[in-house]
Amino acid sequence: MASKKEILKKIRILITQKFDSPEEAFKFFDKDKDGFLTKKELKALVKEADVNRFISGTVAAKMIEALDEDKNKKFNWKEFKSSVAKLLEED
């Protein structure tokens, strides 16, 4: 099973290499264009980052649990932007 550090590295690589900006990544995964990333949409991001499908749902749930500032069980742009900024600082 991949470690937290390995998973975060894969997500960082996805966001920096596939997209021109974190905002572009957010808009790509916000499939219903409601301005939020749900667990399902985050799971798609995690899968796209080449994280094992078996654990992608768990990873998405843990991301929301740890980083969802307003505790509405989804990410808005501000929360996503803040999380990505922290992730890119760890590089």
68: domain CATH number is 1.10.238.10
**Residue type present at position 6:** E
Q: Please report how the helices 39-48 and 53-67 are oriented relative to each other, as an axis angle in degrees rounded to 10.
A: 130
Decide: helix, strand or coil at residue 71.
Answer: coil
Res. 2: pLDDT tops 80 = no
| pLDDT score for 1 | 58
Best CA proximity match to 63, nearest among 20, 4, 22, 9: 4
pLDDT in tens, 19-57: 999 999 999 999 999 999 999 999 999 999 999 888 889
Please give the tally of structural domains in the chain.
Answer: 1
Residue corresponding to tokens 């505790």: 71
pLDDT in tens, 62-87: 988 888 999 999 999 999 999 999 88
pTM score, two decimals?
A: 0.88
Res. 91: pLDDT tops 80 = no
Q: Which domain holds residue 10?
A: 4-89
